[in-house]
Amino acid sequence: MDTTSQIKEEIRSKRKKINDKKESIEELRKRYNIDTCEKEVKFRYPVVISFFSSILIVAYLGDLYIGEWASIILLFLIPLGGSFTYSFFKGAPLRLKENKRRMENKRRSIEEDIRKIKREIELKNSELERARSAREDKRSNLDWWFSLTPREFEEEVAKLYESRGYQCTLTDPSNDGGYDISVDGEGNGSFLVECKRWDSPVGRPNLQKLMGAVGASDAEHGVFVTTSRFTDQAKKFAAKTNLDLIDGRKLLEL
C-alpha cells in the first residue's frame, strides 16, 4: 500500500470512529435510564396520592368492621407510605439528576474525542495533499516512470485513471489475457489498458494482441500506454481501429 492509499485508509478509519461515537451519544439516554427515571418522577404524585388514599380507605373500613385491628394495620402501612413518599418525591428526582449528570459528563467526553479526531483528520488531509503533490511532481519526470517495476508501472497507470473517477481492476501478472487493466467508467463505457514500461518502440503486433483482447470482451475500446514511443506501423494500425495510444510524452501530460 502506497503513502496516499495508507493516508486515505487512516482517514476512513477516523471518520468511522466519529460515526461510532455519534451513535454512542444517541445511546446515552438508554444507557443511563433517563426515560425510566423521568417516568418515575412524572408519576410520583398520582402513585403516592393513590397509596395514601388506600390507607385512609383501609383505616375507615377497619374502623367500621375491624375495630382495633385498624390501628395495627396502620402501624404497618404508615412506614411503608413514608418509604414511598421518599422514593417518589425525593429518591426518583435524585436518581434522575444524578443520571443526567453522568450522561452529560459522558457526552462532553465523547464530543471532545470527536473534536480531537476531526483535528487529526484535518492533519491527515494536509498530509494527503502533500503526498499527492509529491506524487504529481514525480509523475512529471519520465525517469521516475522508468524506475518502477512493470507491476508498479501498471498500478500507477491505474491510479491515474482512478483519480479521474474510473474504477480499475488489474489482471493477474502471470495471465493477463492481452491487457493489464480493466477500466469501468460507471456509465461512460469500459475499456482495456495495456501497459509497457519499455525503452524500445512498441510495434504493431503488440497492438494487435490488445485489439484481440478488446474484441473478446465487452470493452468499447483499448488504450496502450508506454514510456517509449510507437512505430509508424503501430500508429497506422491504431488509426484504423478503436485503440488510443499514449506514449512517454503524453504520459507526462496525464
Choose between 70 and 25: higher pLDDT: 25
48, 34, 49: which is closest to 93 by C-alpha?
34
Tell me: pLDDT of 51 over 70.
Answer: no
Report the predicted TM-score, pTM, of the whole model to 2 decimal places. Answer: 0.55
Average pLDDT over residues 33-51: 68
95 φ, ψ to 5°? -60, -45
pLDDT, tens only, 161-206: 988 889 999 998 777 678 999 999 766 679 999 999 999 999 999 9
Structure confidence at residue 180 (pLDDT) = 94
Residue spans of the domains in the chain: they are 3-137, 149-253
pLDDT, tens only, 117-142: 999 999 999 888 887 777 777 777 88
164, 168, 167, 193: which is closest to 254 by C-alpha?
164
Average pLDDT over residues 56-83: 55
Structure confidence at residue 196 (pLDDT) = 94
Is the separation of the CB atoms in 226 and 247 below 8 Å?
Answer: yes
Structure confidence at residue 83 (pLDDT) = 58
Tell me: pLDDT of 65 over 80.
Answer: no
Tell me: pLDDT of 80 over 80.
Answer: no
Average pLDDT over residues 87-97: 70
Query: CA-CA distance, 206 to 218, in Å (whole number)?
Result: 20
How many angstroms separate the Cα of 62 from the Cα of each of 55, 57, 175, 194?
Answer: 10, 8, 98, 101
Q: What is the radius of gyration, based on Cα positions, of the chain?
A: 38
Q: What share of the chain in percent tops pLDDT 90?
A: 44
Query: CA-CA distance, 200 to 80, in Å (whole number)?
Result: 99
Residue 109 is placed in which grid cell? 467526553
Q: Which CATH number fits domain 149-253: 3.40.50.920, 3.30.1490.100, 3.30.1330.10, 3.40.1350.10?
A: 3.40.1350.10
Largest Cα separation within the chain, whole Å, is 123
Structure confidence at residue 94 (pLDDT) = 79
How many helices (H) and strands (E) are present in the chain, helices listed first? 11, 5
